[in-house]
Amino acid sequence: MKGSAEELDHEVAAAFTHFSFANSKGTGIVCDLQGVGTTWTDVQINSLAQEGYGQSDMGRQGMKAFFASHACNSLCRALKISGAWMV
């Protein structure tokens, strides 16, 4: 539901995932954020090196999958990360 607490939680999680990509200079991404509100558990890290984050690290493929469905929201724009994008 647009404007609901759930929608805001989703936007925060999506912006955080995008921020993790920008802040790591494109070398990794923290995604699959699940939980209640912004208390996240079960996060998954996808890294270019695919070393040290276990078998769930999908590497570049996992990073591209996020961007395939991500549309920047107002939080991404506030963080000025909209230009940090994987193609």
Residues lying near Zn ion in the complex (CB under 5 A) are found at 18, 72, 76
Q: What minimum distance in Å lies between the beta carbon of 81 and Zn ion?
A: 6
Q: Are 4 and 21 in contact (CB under 8 A)?
A: no
Of 43 and 75, CB closest to Zn ion: 75
Q: What minimum distance in Å lies between the beta carbon of 58 and Zn ion?
A: 19
31 burial level (CB within 10 Å; 0-12, 13-18, 19+): buried
Please give the residue whose beta carbon sits closest to Zn ion in the complex.
76
- Distance set, CA 85 to CA 19, 31, 45, 48, 77 (Å): 10, 15, 17, 14, 13
Of 58 and 76, CB closest to Zn ion: 76
Q: What minimum distance in Å lies between the beta carbon of 70 and Zn ion?
A: 6
